[in-house]
């Protein structure tokens, strides 16, 4: 239970109180990329394509 509350506190510190954010998270729960406002969705798509191209997860 202590691990879960620690993870919640980490996410709260990353998210902050204002604005929208997009996080790219790997299967192990590690934040790979973070995008804050203004979010360029074409840039996010380009980054996702690059990550998936070199991903070992199939």
DSSP state letters, 1-58: -HHHHHHHHHHHHHH-SSS-EEEEE-TTS-EEEEEESSP-HHHHHHHHHHHHHT-S--
Average pLDDT, rounded, for the chain: 82
Using the Cα atoms of residue 16, residue 22, residue 26 and residue 32 in order, give the sign of their dihedral.
Answer: negative
Confirm whether 4 is domain-assigned: no
Q: Write out pLDDT tens, residues 5-22.
A: 787 788 777 777 666 788
Q: Which residues of 2-17 are buried (b: 16+ CB within 10 A; e: fewer)?
A: eeeeeeeeeeeeeeee
Q: Is residue 7 assigned to a domain? A: no
Range of the domain at 44: 18-58
Q: Is residue 30 part of a domain?
A: yes
* pTM assigned to the model: 0.58
Is 31 within a domain?
yes
Give domain status of residue 33, yes or no: yes
- Whether residue 55 is contained in a domain is answered as yes
Is residue 3 one of the residues assigned to a domain? no
Residue whose structure tokens are 């790979």: 32
Tell me what pLDDT residue 1 has. Answer: 55
Number of domains in the chain: 1
- Asked whether residue 49 is assigned to any structural domain, the reply reads yes
């Amino acid at each position: 239970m202590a691990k879960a509350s620690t993870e919640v506190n980490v996410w709260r510190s990353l998210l902050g109180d204002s604005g929208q954010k997009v996080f790219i998270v790997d299967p192990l729960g590690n934040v790979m990329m973070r995008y804050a406002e203004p979010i360029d969705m074409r840039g996010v798509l380009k980054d996702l394509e690059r990550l998936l191209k070199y991903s070992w997860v199939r």
